[in-house]
Structures are given as structure tokens and as C-alpha cells.
Copies of this chain bind each other. A is one copy, B any other.
């Protein structure tokens, strides 16, 4: 049972302003619910259909009808559960770059791209992502869903990227034209990989901090690759055992 006020409240969480004020976000579906329950995120509330609740008797979920789920969901096909989760406090002053690969996102605008990049980062064992302040909100519902649960494992810090890079003392890799062929790059154990905006690439003010340019060689005529695909390709050459 869900009240009209709760329905209204959840609908307001699809606006960044309200998410920021309330310090919560929404994640939908059994896959994300599962990952959430194994994470150290604090759940405010889980709404679920009876069939999900029957399978998870140990979880204190609020039972709702498919019609009610339809009202609060943002998915084309609402899928059993919707959770309201507390955001984590991320203090970018505590970011350490040593002995790990960090991803730095410079102006990634598309929520789906951002989420897919977080999922890729998680796949390659990357524990932290720093994002320029003009990147899309990582708690945007489309971003959260695209991470497929990786949002609960990867730490995301919004920060002044230029300042952050200027204070780092590890190699900074950047996906650029005319860099070293990434297929011949030496795997790295430490460093920051900068991924630029979908259409404009890496910003001018960030370029001076890049210590190693990497290029994905083009064998055909496509002008560019999707930012998430490029991230996956570069990481698969940089992160090796």
C-alpha cells in the first residue's frame, strides 16, 4: 500500500534538485534491488510487487500493486521493485590515486553513457571515478539503471577536474587523436584515464595534464566511437593481469 503523497514524493525524485535536497535516489528492478541489498548503501524504502516479496521474505518491503508501480516507475516496462536509497557522501579531498587506475570523466552528458561507463569501470575492477562538475548526475534514473548495479560498488566523486589532476602525481592517460596506438600500450597499474565529452572530447584546460595520449586506431571510415565503447576498449588494453 502506497499513499498518494508517497507517489507524488517519488515522482519529484526524478528531478535532480529534489534528489539533492532529499539526499536520496531511486533504483528499479530486481537486479538492482539484489545488488543494493549486498551493498553498504542505506535503503530508505523498497516498494515491491507481491511475487518479489514472497521470494524475499527477509526484506521489509512495502507491497504495491502493478498499477501503483506503474505510477512511480520511470521504466518503459516497470519491473517488480523500486527502491529509495540514501546517497553516499563523497569527499573528493580524500581521493588517493596511488596503486590503482582511476577514471576521470570530462563533461559526459548522456545519462546512459555515464551509467554504462560506471558498469565498465566496475568490470575492470576500477574503484573510483572522478567526474567534472558539469557531467550528468550519477543519480539520474537512466544513469542508475544503466550501471546495472555497479553504482553500488564504484565510488563517484564530482570535482574540479583540472585542480584534481594538477594535484595528482600519477600518470594521466587521455584518449586523443594522434596518440600512441592503444593496442601497443603497456598495461598500467596506476594512473588516471581521462574520457572526454561525447562530441567535444577532452577540454583544452585538461590537455596539459595528460602525460600519455592513447588512440584507438581506426581501420574503417566511422568518424568516432561511442564514449562508453571507447572507455571499454582503452581499459581492456590498460588493465591486464
> Interface on A for B, CB 8 Å cutoff?
116, 119-126, 148-150, 153, 182-183, 216-226, 228-230, 232-233, 236-237, 239-241
Contacts and interface: CB of A to CB of B under 8 A. Distances in A.
Contacts of A119: 222, 225-226
A220 to B, nearest CB: 4
Nearest to A234: B236
B126 A220 contact: yes
Nearest to A120: B229
Interface of A, secondary structure class, is loop
Contacts of A239: 219
Q: How many copies does the complex hold?
A: 2
Contact of A220 (B124, B217, B221, B228): B124
25 contacts: A116-B226, A119-B222, A120-B222, A120-B225, A120-B229, A122-B221, A122-B222, A123-B216, A123-B218, A126-B220, A149-B222, A149-B223, A150-B222, A153-B222, A183-B237, A216-B236, A217-B240, A219-B239, A225-B232, A226-B228, A228-B229, A229-B229, A229-B232, A230-B232, A232-B232
A31 B241 CA distance: 40
A148 to B, nearest CB: 7
B123 A220 contact: yes
